[in-house]
Amino acid sequence: MTYVVNDNCIRCKFMDCVEVCPVDCFYEGENMLVIHPDECIDCGVCEPECPVDAIKPDTEPGLEKWLQVNAEYASKWPNITVKRDPPPDAKAFEGKPGKFDLYFSPEPGEGD
């Protein structure tokens, strides 16, 4: 199994998660992060760190799409291990529905 990031992260990108991951397996897109499914050791420490509940174990039902998105973009985006400032308008996107269709960007983030 692995943990996956879902669309609650999109345009929120708080990055609290990257500071706690013992194996540094978060990867950064322009407006969300993903977890590399082959690197995650399923420790679970990132899940409660996310203020918008964007991280889930893939054993929960309905996460197939997110597993696929995490797997695809973890191999395309740069690694991120250090928290930066979230987007200035992050709060405005908390809990908004349909964020993947509206805002998902395949472009890479900065990484570190």
- Chain contacts with ligand SF4 (rule: CB under 6 A): 3, 20-21, 23, 25, 35, 40-46
State the DSSP H helix or E strand holding residue 72, giving kind and residue range, or none if neither: helix 64-74
State the nearest-atom distance from the C-beta of 5 to ligand SF4, in Å: 9
Half-sphere exposure of 36 (CA within 13 A, CB side): 18
Give the SS3 label for residue 59.
Answer: coil
First to last CA, the chain: 26
**37-45, 51-59, 66-74, 103-111 -> range binding ligand F3S (CB under 6 A):** 51-59
Q: Report the interface residues with ligand F3S, using CB under 6 A.
A: 5, 9, 12-17, 33, 49-50, 52, 54-55
